[in-house]
Amino acid sequence: MADLIPICAADALAERGRGIRFPLTAGGEDASGFVVRYDGVARGYLNRCAHVPIELDWNEGEFFDSSGLYLMCSTHGAMYLPESGRCAGGPCRGGRLRPIAVVEKDDMVFWQTDDFLTPARA
């Protein structure tokens, strides 16, 4: 069964505001995930652009473009739909962000492990 790992208090995520980064292991490598709130729902993704495998945020937690409608890679401008992670423009060409299952309960946001995403190594 998948584990639920706490990320933050639910009220720490403002609609289309700053995201929260969290450490994890992706396919055996140290990485980070992030969670943002869009359309009232907490949504999580691996912090890795589909165009070039680098982190998206230009300042920690800054994932949305200036309009607040897209998640944007700070390096090459790839844009992703926050509700699905699908490429919406730029060099990602049909790619998508890898989703991370996120659960909100008891006023907290948790991420759910799977076969590829596991807790960060100590």
- What number is the average pLDDT over the span 43-70? 94
Digit-coded pLDDT (tens) for 72-105: 999 999 999 999 999 999 999 889 999 999 999 9
Ramachandran angles phi, psi of 86, nearest 5°? -70, 145
Nearest CA to 71 among 91, 93, 86? 86
- Collapsing DSSP states into helix, strand and coil, what is residue 1? coil
pLDDT for 14 equals 97
Q: In this model, does residue 1 exceed pLDDT 70?
A: no
Both tokens of 34, joined, read 């992030």
Q: In this model, does residue 29 exceed pLDDT 70?
A: yes
For the chain, the average pLDDT equals: 95
Could you tell me the pTM of the whole model?
0.95
Digit-coded pLDDT (tens) for 52-64: 889 999 889 999 9
Structural contact between residues 78 and 92, judged by C-beta atoms closer than 8 angstroms:
yes
pLDDT for 26 equals 97
The residue written with tokens 């890898």 in the block is 98
Q: Is 118 exposed, middle or buried (0-12, 13-18, 19+ CB in 10 A)?
A: middle
Per DSSP (E only), the strands in the chain are: 4-9, 20-26, 29-38, 41-46, 71-72, 79-80, 87-89, 99-100, 102-105, 108-112, 117-119
pLDDT for 121 equals 84
Q: In this model, does residue 43 exceed pLDDT 90?
A: yes
| CATH classification code of 4-115 | 2.102.10.10
% of the chain beyond a pLDDT of 70: 98
